[in-house]
Amino acid sequence: MLCGDSPKGLVGIAKLAAESEVLEAKRAVQYFEIGCRSVLNRTRPPAPGSRFPNRMPFQWTINPYRGCEFACRYCYARYTHEFMELRHSADFEDLIYAKSDIAGILRREIRHTWPTGGIAIGTATDPYQPAERRFKRTRAALEVFAEQSGLSVHITTKSDLVTRDIPLFVEIARKNDFNVNMTITTLDTSLARMLEPRAPRPDLRLKAVRLLADAGLTVGVFPNPIMPLITDQEARLDRLAKAARDHGASYFGGGVLFLQPCSRRVFLPFVAEHFPHLLRRYQERYESSAYLKGPYLDMIRERLATIRDRYGLDAGPRFAERVPPKSVLAAHVQEPLFEFA
């Protein structure tokens, strides 16, 4: 039993998690309410001399939930549950924390610091996972953005639930840069079910792309993460890019799988079970680093560029650096940024 217990010795986010109230419990999944100091989080610049330059085309992230019910086998965000001392791999999928007072905190943050440089919603956990249907924490953030102008807001999801908010997106896109990135790793439903057991089927995601595009919104497809010898074949990626184009996507991204220790602990047993002939190669390739290096990356880059050219797709959305409107600058107040909820 999680809620109500307050184990001694826990501090910060781990203490908050242990004390969280149960919002709902169903199947093996439990939902909790959790306070947060901030909704907007600034991305960290790369360490000096880093081999991995910061290529993120945004400077702010928002993740309305901690944990993600979609349970993708390759998920890199599992470590975020470890901050709450929840270390079992299933905890990330079954103990979902909805952040409280998203709208109030976000309004205060925007008043204090105008977030230039792009705001990405859903960088760590899916903003349209099943919890959103009931708890509407992503929608709370979007309602705040619909009041603003001159921002650059981007959503990444695997869920067709995203279409619920199309009227709100249209409102945001009237006064801000706005786009939706739909992640589809494969069109093969049975492979998708193995890789992403609780995420919506690929055909449902494509239908969502169609609806978003038909509403006049900028939408693209990301086949991320591209998994060596599982989803990286030219024919698979080509079919996916063509389907994306046919459903109204204007761009097709692409990034190769990386495996931090938290994701390696789940993904390698998955490979052992479903692709045993690949296990040794995966172990060797990811043994010394979470990131692949060398000619494989160049080969995938070229493959994607060729496919994009074939279908007239861009590599990604265009992110505009916007100047805050004068009214925002005038209202820019210096008040304490955070009050601990």
Contacts 24+ apart (CB under 8 A), 169-175: 169/142, 169/212, 169/215, 169/217, 170/215, 170/216, 170/217, 171/146, 172/142, 172/145, 172/146, 173/216, 173/217, 173/218, 175/148, 175/149, 175/150
* Radius of gyration of the CA atoms of the chain, in A: 20
Task: Choose one: 69-77, 170-178, 296-304, 318-326; the region binding ligand SF4 (CB under 6 A).
Answer: 69-77
- Under the binding rule (CB under 6 A), the answer on residue 162 touching ligand SF4 is no
- Under the binding rule (CB under 6 A), the answer on residue 94 touching ligand SF4 is no
- Under the binding rule (CB under 6 A), the answer on residue 68 touching ligand SF4 is yes
Query: In the bound complex, what is the minimum distance in angstroms from residue 292's beta carbon to ligand SF4?
Result: 18
Indicate the residue among 68 and 307 with the shorter CB distance to ligand SF4. 68
- Under the binding rule (CB under 6 A), the answer on residue 307 touching ligand SF4 is no
Query: In the bound complex, what is the minimum distance in angstroms from residue 65's beta carbon to ligand SF4?
Result: 9
In terms of Cβ atoms closer than 10 Å to its own Cβ (0-12, 13-18, 19+), residue 59 is buried
- Under the binding rule (CB under 6 A), the answer on residue 181 touching ligand SF4 is no
Question: Of the candidates 61, 80, 89, 125, which one interacts with ligand SF4 according to CB under 6 A?
Answer: 125
Judge contact between 183 and 224, C-beta under 8 A: yes
Q: CA torsion sign, 158 to 162 to 168 to 169?
A: positive
User: Which letter does DSSP use for residue 6 in this model?
Assistant: -
Query: In the bound complex, what is the minimum distance in angstroms from residue 185's beta carbon to ligand SF4?
Result: 9
Strand, helix or coil at 238? Answer: helix
Pattern 197-236, ligand SF4, x by CB under 6 A: --x-------------------------------------
Task: Choose one: 54-62, 65-73, 200-208, 265-273; the region binding ligand SF4 (CB under 6 A).
Answer: 65-73
Structure tokens at 73: 């086998």
Query: In the bound complex, what is the minimum distance in angstroms from residue 126's beta carbon to ligand SF4?
Result: 4
Q: What are phi and psi of 262, to 5 degrees?
A: -65, -35
Residues forming a β-bridge with 42: 60
Question: Of the candidates 77, 120, 192, 219, which one interacts with ligand SF4 according to CB under 6 A?
Answer: 77
Judge contact between 331 and 26, C-beta under 8 A: no
Judge contact between 91 and 81, C-beta under 8 A: yes
- Under the binding rule (CB under 6 A), the answer on residue 126 touching ligand SF4 is yes
Task: Choose one: 72-80, 141-149, 249-257, 318-326; the region binding ligand SF4 (CB under 6 A).
Answer: 72-80
Question: Of the candidates 34, 62, 72, 304, which one interacts with ligand SF4 according to CB under 6 A?
Answer: 72
- Please list the alpha-helical segments (H only) found in 40-165: 79-82, 91-94, 102-112, 130-135, 137-145
Query: In the bound complex, what is the minimum distance in angstroms from residue 135's beta carbon to ligand SF4?
Result: 16
Count residues near ligand SF4 (CB under 6 A): 11
Indicate the residue among 199 and 241 with the shorter CB distance to ligand SF4. 199
Task: Choose one: 63-71, 112-120, 209-217, 272-280; the region binding ligand SF4 (CB under 6 A).
Answer: 63-71
Task: Choose one: 20-28, 64-72, 147-155, 185-193; the region binding ligand SF4 (CB under 6 A).
Answer: 64-72
Interactions with ligand SF4, residue window 30-59 (CB under 6 A)? none
Structure tokens at 61: 């992230």
HEC profile for 289-336? CCCCCCHHHHHHHHHHHHHHHHHCCECCCCCCCCCCCHHHHHCCCCCC
User: Which letter does DSSP use for residue 248 in this model?
Assistant: T
Residues interacting with ligand SF4, by CB under 6 A?
68, 70-72, 75, 77, 125-126, 158, 196, 199
